[in-house]
Structure 1
Amino acid sequence: MSAVHTPEIGFNTETRERPARRIHITSPFAKSGWINHGFVGAWCPGQALQVTAGGPGHTVANEHGFLLGASEPGAGQRVHARTAGDRLVAFDGYVVDPPLHHRSAPAKITAFWEDRLEKRVNGNFAAAIIDSRGAALTLRTDAFGLTPLYYRVIDELVLFGTSPDYLLLGDETIDRASLLSVLNNGFIVADQTLYDGIHRTPLGGCLTFTGTTLESRRVRFDLKVAGSGEGTFTHRDMDRIQGLFHQAVERCLALDYSEPVMTLTAGLDSRRVLGALLDSGHRPATMTVRIRTDGEDLDATVASRIATRFGLRHTTSELPGPAQYARDDELRCRLVGSETTMHDWSPTLQRLYPDAPAMIFEGFIGDTLQEPLPHWKDTYASPAADLERFAMKLAEEPGPWLARDMLQYSSELAERVRTQLAPYSDRRHITDLAELVTDMRRGIGLGSRFVPPRHLQVRPFFDLDFIQAIFDVDPRIRVQQPVRRLFIERYHPRLAEFDNSPDYVDRKPAPPTRLQRARERACVARAARDLPVRRQYDCLESIVSPRTLTLCALTRVAPAITQRWYWALRPILDTTLQPARSVPVWRIPAV
C-alpha cells in the first residue's frame, strides 16, 4: 500500500483473534521540501497492530509493525516490505559495501538486511528492521551514529523515527539536563533528547527489542574502528592514509547516484575532497554561502578563486534579508530546534542544490579526524584525565541567564558524558573521540536534515577504513604537526597554493554588520510571537533567572530593545518553547 498523499487510510494487520492495539499517526511529512525526511514506525509484539494514518507518505505493515516513509518524486522510498510482508525494512542513507542507498531497488535493500543486523556496515545510514516471525525490532545506525534515529517505549509499544519530533504525543516534558547541554554547548550529549522518554539509538551500535516484554539488547560496533591512538605518522603512513581516503571517495562514487556536487569552503577538508574528485576524473559543481558581507569572508572568496582556477561551475549565495532570514530560522527550529542551536546558514546553502537528484559530497566535518582544535593542546595528559576534563567542560555550571535550580543538572550532564565515553576510556585520543560523538554527532551532523530528500549526502571522511587509520595516529603527533596542510601540500599542491585559508588559531569572526543586526532583530521578533501573552511562564520560570524572564517579557512588546542579548535569548527561547511549537504526531488510546 503506498501513496504520495493519503488523506485517511487504515492499515489493519490483525490476522488472528486477539485484541488489536489501535493507534493513529498524523504524518509528520510534507508533500515536498525539507520537512519530508526519513521514516517513522511502530512495533507492538504482544498484540496485533491496527494503525490509521493521515497525510503524505509511503506505508508498509505486517501483523506487529507499521512503517511510514517520506515520499517525494525522484527521492526513492524509505520503507519496504519483503514478500508477504513478513519483514519490514526502513532505510535512509547509504552503505558502500556493496553500494546501496535509499533509491536502490527495494528487493536489494531488504536482501541486504537479511544477515547484517549486527555486523560491521560501512556507510552513513539509519535502518529499522521489523521481523514478524522472530518477534523482533532492530534499530541500526552507522558506526558512530552520525545518522539520527530515535525511539520511545510506551505501554509495550515501541515508536521510532529519524527525528524526535516524529515521536511526539503532545504531553512531553523537557529533559532539564539535555536543555542545559544545548544552552551550554549548542548540542545534546549522550543519547537523551530534549524530551523526557525519547532517546537516540545507542552510539554506533545495534539496538534490538524482542518478546512481548520488550527486552532490549545492545551491540556496540567493533572498537577497532575507533583507532588505537598509538601509531606513527611517517611518509609511508601518509601514503597509506591518503590511499584509504581516495578509496573512500571512490566508494561513494560507486554508489552511482548522480554526478557529484559539493559544498566548497576555504577549509583544507573540502579542498581535500575536491582534490580526490578531480583525481578521479570528476569536475563537481561547487557552491558556497557568504557568511559575512563586509568583514572577513575567507570561505566565499577563496572558494571562488579555487573554482575559477580549476574551471568549475561555482555558485555563491548571500544570506537572505531579515524577513527571509527569520523564516529560515523558523524552518531551522522545525528541523533541528530540539537538538541543536547550529545551522543558521544551512537553509541558504541547500537552496543552491540542483532540482534533479544529486550526490552531495561534504567535507566540512573532517577537521577533528585529522587535526585537533587548538584549545585541546593542553590535553592528552592521560585518558582518564582528558575524559574528566571534557566531561566537566560540557557540564559547566549555568550562568546568570538560568535559574539556580538548573545547577543540579550539571553533575547529571557530566555523568552522561562519562558513561557514554566509558568504552573508549583507555584510548589516548579520547578527546578526539569525544568531540566526534558529541559535537559532530549531535550538532554538526544534523546539517543533513536540511538536504532535500531527493539528494544523497555522502561523507568520505567517515569511511570506516579511513577513520580507523587516521585515529590510529598518536594524537600528540597530530597536535604538533599541521596534518591537514601536510596532506594538501603533498598530494594536492595546486590546491595548497591559495593563501588566507582560515585556521582556528587565527580566524576571528567579523563584527556584526548592520544587515546582520537586522536579521537578528527579525529572529527575536519571530521568537516573541510564540511567547505567552501573560507572564505565567510555567516552563520558563523554572529554567531561567528572574532577569531573563523580564527580558523575555520585554521581548514580546519591544524586541528591538532586547536585541543586544540576542546571543543568549535566542537559544533559550528556541529550546524552551520547542515542545509548545511542536505538533503531536501519534494518538495512542490508553490500554
Structure 2
Amino acid sequence: MKSLEDFMRSDPLQLSFKWPLFPRDSFREEFIIGAWHPSAELQVSWSHPPQSVEILGIRRRNWFMLSSRSPFQSCGDGLAHAASGPLAQAPNREAMEAVAFQGYLLDPPIHSWSKPKDIIDYWLGKHDRHNGVFAAIRVTRGGDQLEFISDAFGLKPLYYREFAGGLLFSTNSRFLVTENDQLDGIASRILMHSQSVYGNRSLTKGLYRVPPGTVIKFRDGGETERKWFSLSSLPTGNRSLTLAGIQEAEDAFQNAMNRCLRLQVAGHLLPLSGGDDSRRILAALHSRGVPFSALTVRTLHKEYRDVDGHWAAVMAAELGFKHQVVELPPPSEFARLDHTRRLLMDAHGCEHTWFLAMHDHMPEHSCLVFDGTGGDVFGNTGFGIERLHTTKDSEKLSMIGEMVIDHVFDRLLSELWWPSAESVRAELLAFLKDLPDGRNKSDLAFLFTRCRSGPAMCAQRLIPAGHVTVYPYFDLDHAYVTLGFDPVEKLPPKTLQARCLAEFWPRYYAFPGSRRIPSESKPGSPKPDQERWLACFKQLQTETRFPFRCGLGTLLTSRAYANSVLIAAHTESSHRARWWLEPLLTLLARRINERACWTVTSDQIDGNSAVAGAVYSTKGLDIS
C-alpha cells in the first residue's frame, strides 16, 4: 500500500483559490499570494478576479505565485519573477527558480516595480544587510526549498500557514483563509486592548507573520530560522544629545532622504500632517527643489481643533509648494470607506480611519509616497514616558505589558471563551523578550508593537498598487545614529525632531502644528466626528446583526451583554461604549465577511488552471 508521502509524490495535489470579499469601489489592492509543497506536484486553479484587480501568476512543479500588477507600467510585470539564465544556476549560489518582492531596498535602489532583472540579480546575490522595508519570497534548490525574508524591523507584513502538507503565504492574511478557521483569542484580545495586532500572530489561529529581520527556510526535512539582523547590534542610547549630535542626526536623515530619492519612480507624494515627522520630510523635499505634491486630510486634534488642514494650507501658500486639503466625506460615505478599510486591513487595525479619504486624490502615475512613521521612535521616544527609560531594564517590559494589556476587559469578556489578561500579557512579553537591555529598550518595544502593527500597517495596505511607500526614518544608518542618543533627552517638548527643525529649518519650524498648538486656537465641535463614528457603528450593526443574531452573548459576561442590548436600542449614546464595543464588533464583522479562499479538491476545476512552467496574466475577466 502507498504511504501518504508516496501518494503525494506520485499524484498531483489540486488546490482551488477563490478571491475573498473585495471592496465595492475600484481600489487596486497590492499583494502576493502563493502555495508551496515540499514533495507533491501542485495543480492550482483560481476564480475570476474582480474587475479592479490586475494579476500575474507563475508556477513550476510544486509551487505557485499570484501577484498584483502595476496599472502604471506598460510591460505589466507583477511582483513575482521567474529566474532564468546562467546567474540563476551559478555554482556559488543556491539555484533560484523565482523570487517575489514587495517594498524597497536602498543599497542598491530597487522597489516593487523595478525591472525584474534588477530584482532577480539582487536576490541571487549574498547580502549580509538589507537596508529597506520589504517582504521577499525565494524558491530555491529546484523548488525543494522555500524562503521568507523580512526587513530589519519587520514593517512589511508577510504571513504563512500550513495547509495540505505544504504552505500557503501572502502579504495579506485575508488571502489565506481556509474552511473551518478559528479566531485567535490572544491576537483578538491584543487588538481590543491596543487597536492593532501586536506580535507575530494573526486574527486567524495557526496563521503567522514572519518575524522581523528573519530568514525562514522550509524543506522536506523541516524548517530553519535565523536572524539576519541582530537587535543587539543597535546602540543602547548612552550618548548625550549635544549640538554636534543634533548635526549628526540631521546629516543621517538627509542621507536617508537622498537614498530614498534614488529610487526610480515617476513622482513624489507627501501625506502632510501637522506633526514634525512629516514636516522634516517636507523641508528635505522642498529645499532640494524636488517636484512633489502634498495631501493633508482635515482631521481634528486636541479638543477638535483644526490643526493639520489649516496650518498645512498656510505653509503651502507661504512656502510655495503644491498642496491639497482633503475633506472627510459625509458620514454615510465615510462608513463605506471604513468598510473598505476593514476589508483591506483584514480587521487587524482600528486606527487611521481617515486614511482612505486620500485614495481618490492620489496621482494617476506611480509615486514615491513618503511616510513619516518611525519619527516618534527615533526622534520622540515612542511612549514618551520618562520612567520607562530610567527604571531597571529587568522591569521595563513588565511595565509596558501592564500598560498595554490591563484588566479592564476582564469584567466584560466571558472567561469561558477568552484567554485571560495574564496569558495575553505573557504572550506579548514573549514576543519582546529578545529586546536588548539599555535605555532604548522601551523605544524598541514601542517600535515592535504600536509602530510595526499600527501606522506602518495602514500605509502597507491602504496605498493602491503601483505606488511605493518609503520610510526614511527607518533607514538603517539613520536608526543607528539616532538610537545612539539618550532617549530621555528626546522627550517632549524638546524632541529630536523639533530640535532638528528649529536648528536647521527655522522657517518650517515657525509654523504651528499638532505639537505646538497656538494658545489662541479655539476648540471645535465634536459633532462631525461623532456623526461619522455613529455611521460606522451602524454599518457594523448592519453587518453583524447586532446585538441578537451575532453570537455576542457567548463572548460577553451577562451584564456586558445586557448593556450591549441597551446600547443597540439607543445608538445615539453608543459612543460611550466605543472603546470596547467597536473592536468587538469589528472582529465579528470580519468573521461574517470572511470567505474560505483555499480548498483541496480532486474534481476537475472550472476557471483558470495553472500548468507547470506557464505565466498567466489577467485583468478582470479577460484571460490571455
| CA distance in structure 2 between the aligned counterparts of 1:174 and 1:507, rounded to whole angstroms | 49
Q: What is the CA deviation profile of residues 16-40 of structure 1, one whole-angstrom value per residue up to 9, with x for unaligned ones?
A: 9722111111245969943521211
Q: CA deviation at 1:329?
A: 0.9
How far the C-alpha of 1:392 sits from its partner, in A, is 1.9
CA deviation after TM superposition for structure 1 residue 403, in Å: 2.5
Distance 1:562 1:495, change over 3 A: closer
Q: Tell me, in whole angstroms, the C-alpha distance in 2 between the residues paired with 1:17 and 1:197.
A: 25
Q: AA paired with 1:575?
A: L
Instruction: Give the one of 13, 19, 31 matched to 2:11.
Output: 19
SS in 2 for 1:266: coil
Query: Partners in 2 of 1:366 and 1:500 — Cα distance?
Result: 15
Within 1, Cα distance between the matches of 2:471 and 2:384? Answer: 25
The residue that corresponds to 2:620 in the other structure is none
Going from structure 1 to structure 2, the CA distance change for 1:544 and 1:34 (only over 3 Å counts) comes to farther
CA distance in 2, matches of 1:152, 1:497: 51
Structure 1 contact 152–199 (Cα < 8 Å) conserved: yes
CA shift at 1:258, angstroms? Answer: 2.0
554 and 110 in structure 1: CA distance in 2 versus 1, 3 angstrom threshold = farther
1:365–1:444 CA contact under 8 A, matched in 2: no
Question: Closer, same or farther in 2 for the Cα pair 1:409/1:298, shift >3 Å?
Answer: same
Match of 2:434 among 401, 412, 423: 423
For the pair 1:170 / 2:179, whether they are aligned, the reply is yes
Aligned residue in 2 for 1:410: 421
Q: 1:289 aligns with which of 297, 302, 322?
A: 297
Q: Deviations over 1:391-435 (max 9, x none)?
A: 222221243432344674322222222222222242321100000
- Uncovered stretches (5+) of structure 1, i.e. residues with no partner: 1-15
- AA partner of residue 269 (structure 2): V
In the alignment, residue 21 of structure 1 is paired with which amino acid? L
Moved more, 555-564 or 42-51: 555-564
CA distance in 1, matches of 2:136, 2:464: 19
**Is 1:397 the counterpart of 2:407 in the alignment?**
yes
Change (3 A) 1:160 1:510: farther
| Counterpart Cα distance in 1 of 2:543 and 2:563 | 14
Residue 273 and residue 498 in structure 1: after superposition, are their counterparts in 2 closer, same or farther (change >3 A)?
same
Which residue, 463, 467, 470 being the options, matches 1:455?
467
| Alignment coverage as a number of residue pairs | 573
Q: Which structure 2 segments of 5+ residues have no match?
A: 1-7, 50-54, 89-95, 604-624
CA 1:548 to 1:240, structure 2 compared with 1: closer, same or farther past 3 Å?
A: same
Q: Indicate yes or no: 2:494 matched with 1:493.
A: no
How far off is 1:335 after superposition? 1.3
For residue 178 of structure 2, give the secondary structure of its aligned residue in structure 1: coil
User: 2: distance between equivalents of 1:479 and 1:408?
Assistant: 35
Whether the 8 Å CA contact 1:329–1:344 is kept in 2: the answer is yes
Cα 1:224–1:567 shift into 2, 3 Å: closer
Give runs of aligned pairs for residues 169-318 of structure 1, distance below 5 A. 169-210=178-219, 212-223=220-231, 226-292=234-300, 295-318=304-327
The residue that corresponds to 1:322 in the other structure is 331
Deviations 1:93-116 (A, max 9, x none): 111111101111112211211134
Match of 1:79 in 2: 80
Report the alpha carbon displacement of residue 555 of structure 1 after superposing the two structures with TM: 6.1
Q: Is the 8 A contact 1:267 1:364 kept in 2?
A: no
For residues 444-475 of structure 1, give each alpha carbon's deviation from its aligned partner in whole angstroms, at most 9, with x where no partner exists: 11112110111111110110110111111122
Structure 1 residues 337-346 or 314-323, which shifts more? Answer: 337-346
2: distance between equivalents of 1:166 and 1:508? 46
Does the Cα contact within 8 Å between 2:373 and 2:455 map onto a contact in 1? no
Contact 1:62–1:88 (8 Å) recurs in 2: no
Amino acid at match of 2:15: I
Q: Displacement, 1:534?
A: 8.2
Asked if the contact 2:297–2:327 (Cα under 8 Å) also holds between the matched residues in 1, the reply is yes
Partner residue in 1 for 2:583? 571
Query: Counterparts of 2:19 and 2:383 in 1: how far apart (Å)?
Result: 45
Residue in 1 that maps onto 2:63: 65
2:497 paired residue number: 484
> 8 Å contact 1:38–1:70 — kept in the other structure?
yes
Equivalent of 2:367, from 358, 374, 377?
Answer: 358
TM-aligned CA distance change 1:169 to 1:401, over 3 Å: same
Residue 483 of structure 2 corresponds to which residue in structure 1? 471
Residue 228 of structure 1 aligns with an amino acid whose one-letter code is T
Aligned letter for 2:534? Answer: R
Q: What is the DSSP-based 3-state SS (H/G/I as helix, E as strand, rest coil) of the residue aligned with 1:144?
A: coil
Is the counterpart of residue 531 in structure 1 residue 516 in structure 2? no
Matched residue SS, 1:124: strand
The aligned residue for residue 40 of structure 1 is 33
Displacement after TM superposition at 1:54 (Å): 2.2
Q: Distance in 2 between matches of 1:510 and 1:126?
A: 43
Scaled by the length of structure 2, what TM-score is found? 0.85
Q: Helix, strand or coil: the match of 1:55?
A: coil
In the alignment, the residues of structure 1 paired with residue 48 and residue 149 of structure 2 have an alpha-carbon distance, to the nearest angstrom, of 26
Pick 1 or 2: higher relative contact order, CA cutoff 8 A, min separation 6: 2
Tell me how far apart the structure 1 counterparts of residues 575 and 489 of structure 2 sit (CA, whole Å): 44
The whole-number CA distance in structure 2 between the counterparts of 1:455 and 1:485 is 29
1:126-141 correspondence runs (5 A): 126-133=135-142, 135-141=144-150
Partner residue of 1:54?
47
- CA–CA distance in 1 between the matches of 2:183 and 2:548? 19
Percent identity between the two aligned chains:
25
CA-based RMSD of the aligned residues comes to 2.9
